[in-house]
Amino acid sequence: MQQQKLSLQEVKKSCENCYKCELGKSRTNVVFSSGVENNKLMVIGEAPGYYEDRSGIPFVGKAGKLLDKILESQGFSREKNIYICNTIKCRPPNNRNPLPEEKNACREYLDAQIDILKPAIIILCGGVAVKSFLETSPGITKVRGRWYDGPHGSSMMPIFHPSYLLRNDSREKGSPKWLMWQDIQEIKRVYDSI
C-alpha cells in the first residue's frame, strides 16, 4: 500500500517525540521551524542555540535578530513570506557543531520539510548547512553568493552565518557584511523573477 504523505504538523509531532540521538535527552524544546509555510523561500540554519532551545523557535538570539534585519531589508519576514528551520532540531551542548550522527538522525525531518514545502529558493546559512547539501564544499567563503541546484528543482544559495557577521564589524567593500548585502540582493532578484 502506498504511504500517505505526512503533513508538516505530523512531522513536527514525530520530531517532538524523537530520541534517535543523544540530544533528545538534553533538549528543553524541539526547534522545528518558524515563519510561514510557503513554496518560495526557505532558510536553513545550523542548529538551535540556548535561546532557541528555551523558546522552541529558530534564530531568536543575537544572530537571529541580525538575520531578521538582513531579510527584512529585502521585504522578507517570518510573518509574510519566509520559512526558517535548521539542519538539526535540538540544541547541541555548549553550541558545538552538530555531530554527523546527529545530522543523520535528524535528516528525515529536514528532508520532510523540504519535500512538503518544495521551496523554489533555499538559503543555506553557514558552513554546517552547506555541508548538508554540497558534497564537496570548499568552504563558505568560496561558495557563498553562488547558485546551486537543490532538491525538487530548487535553487540553493549559501550565505554567511549571521554569527560570523557579528564577529566582523567592517562594512567595507569585500567585507563579510558587504558580501552578505550583495547576496541578499541577488536572492531578492531571483525571488522576484519566480
Binding of residue 102 to ligand URA (CB under 6 A): no
Interface pick for ligand URA out of 24, 53, 71, 86 (rule CB under 6 A):
86
CB of 61: closest distance to ligand URA in angstroms?
Answer: 6
Among 58, 92, 150, 158, indicate the residue that binds ligand URA (CB under 6 A): 58
Residue 52 binds to ligand URA (criterion: CB under 6 A): yes
48 sits near ligand URA (criterion: CB under 6 A): yes
Q: Least distance from C-beta 1 to ligand URA, angstroms? A: 37
Under the binding rule (CB under 6 A), the answer on residue 49 touching ligand URA is yes
Place of cell 568560496: 142
* Residue 46 makes contact with ligand URA by CB under 6 A: yes
**97 near 49, Cβ under 8 Å?**
no
Cβ proximity to ligand URA: between 52 and 68 the closer is: 52
- The Cβ-side half-sphere exposure at 137, using a 13 Å CA radius, reads 20
Tally of CB atoms within 10 A around 94: 7
How far is it, in rounded angstroms, from Cα 34 to Cα 176? 26
Is residue 45 involved in binding ligand URA (CB under 6 A)? yes
Stretch that binds ligand URA, among 59-67, 111-119, 173-181, 185-193 (CB under 6 A): 59-67
Cα distances (angstroms) measured from residue 171 to each of 35, 58, 190: 28, 26, 24
Asked whether position 160 contacts ligand URA by CB under 6 A, the answer is no
Three cell numbers at 83? Answer: 520559512
Q: Does 119 bind ligand URA (CB under 6 A)?
A: no
How many residues form the binding site for ligand URA (CB under 6 A)? 12
C-alpha cell at 58: 529558530
Using the rule CB under 6 A, is 176 a contact of ligand URA? Answer: no
The DSSP annotation for 101-167 comes to HHHHHHHHHHHHHHHHH--SEEEEESHHHHHHH-SS---HHHHTT--EE-GGG-EEEEE--HHHHHT
- The residues of the shown chain that bind ligand URA, judged by CB under 6 A, are 45-49, 52, 58-59, 61, 63-64, 86
